[in-house]
Amino acid sequence: MTFAKVLKLSPYLCDSMTSGKTLLQQLKQGDKKALARCISIVENELEGYEEILTSLKINQSIAVIGVTGPPGAGKSTLINAVIKKLTADNKSVGVIAIDPTSPFNYGSLLGDRLRMAEHFTNENVFIRSLATRSSLGGLSAKTIEIVDVMRSFPFDYIFVETVGVGQSEVEVVGLADTTVLVLVPESGDDVQAMKSGIMEIADVFVVNKADRDGANTFIKNIIQLVHSKSVSDWNTPVIKGIATKGEGVDELIEAINKHHKTGANKKRSYLMAEKAYRLIQNSRMKDISKQLLQQQIEKEMKKTDFNLYRFVKES
């Protein structure tokens, strides 16, 4: 969000008289200011956030697409190209960009204003950055809740872009109807390392930057690997793309639409169980302060008999 937009929204965001019920009604009607306000309340657990979450009218027919993959694969560029195509067809798109958090000041290192700035003036696009904060993987602890808030808004598509670190590739399946894994021809070693997890849960593969050397061979290897690991009736497509040129975008949108209609519901119970597990996990960890934990550990480490496992057990 640009500074000008923040100034424009600030009087609304500071309106403490706006009730949760009023916000939800405005949200349903497509009020982006209400959407921004609801997200802020939920993300920061301000007064009334539980009322908002328990009163949401979630539209399960809105496609939630998780876009993940190793850093440098071109996820943001690909999403930009997809947004451009969808909005040209008058589709409404919401984007949650998960940004890595600095381990030192707990602030976000990147930002939607840097990666997707060309869409800020588009009335059919809403973009929100979330820091991973204390999350161990690539998803913010609040991502699940905010996805559901956005699913209560009249979007046609919601994209969730992960930072592509840790277990984010596996975590994203817990909130997305369709998981898109973006790779590049140089990802050969990464695929070998991740295939026991991500190969089973990716619904669509995109080999981006396919104009590079070795792309065709890499694509053939991925196709072979996908077919050998198939665990459902869904025929996982492997799309050849060059996001900077818009190549492969139509095929990706077609695959997303087809999967949402034919394959998403087959793992609905698994997705809901994953969501419930993470919500319960986050709730029970709510009182744990990472900064306070660091201070305590710094103090305990000065002892010659310091043992991390004993410290954890006694905490």
Structural domain boundaries in the chain: 1-57, 58-273, 289-314
The average pLDDT across 91-105 equals 72
CB atoms near residue 144 (< 10 Å): 19
**Coil vs helix vs strand at 134:** coil
262 contacts: CB under 8 Å, gap ≥ 6: 234
* Residue of 95, 173, 162, 96 whose CA lies nearest to 135: 162
pLDDT in tens, 166-197: 445 556 766 788 989 999 998 766 666 555 56
pLDDT band at 30 (very low <50, low <70, confident <90, very high): very high
Angle between helices 143-150 and 32-43 in degrees, nearest 10: 160
How far apart CA 49 and CA 47 sit, in angstroms, is 6
Burial of 228 (0-12, 13-18, 19+ CB in 10 A): exposed
pTM: 0.79
What is the torsional sign of CA 297, 300, 302, 304?
A: negative
**What stretch of H or E contains 207?**
strand 204-207
Asked whether residue 255 carries a pLDDT value surpassing 90, the answer given is yes
How far apart CA 142 and CA 122 sit, in angstroms, is 26
261 contacts: CB under 8 Å, gap ≥ 6: none
Helices vs. strands in the chain: H and E counts, helices first: 15, 7
pLDDT in the model for residue 226: 81
CB atoms near residue 179 (< 10 Å): 26
Q: Which residue reads 């008058």 in tokens?
A: 90
* Residue of 100, 138, 101, 94 whose CA lies nearest to 116: 94
Work out the mean pLDDT of the chain and round it to a whole number: 80
CB atoms near residue 224 (< 10 Å): 11
How far apart CA 104 and CA 122 sit, in angstroms, is 35
Higher pLDDT, 3 or 59: 59
pLDDT in tens, 36-88: 999 999 988 899 998 999 999 999 889 999 998 888 889 989 999 999 999 99
Residues in the chain: 315
Both tokens of 25, joined, read: 């009604």
* CATH among 3.10.180.10, 3.40.50.300, 1.20.120.1200, 3.40.1190.20 for 58-273: 3.40.50.300
pLDDT in the model for residue 103: 41
* DSSP type of residue 265: G
Q: Which residue reads 């390392």 in tokens?
A: 193
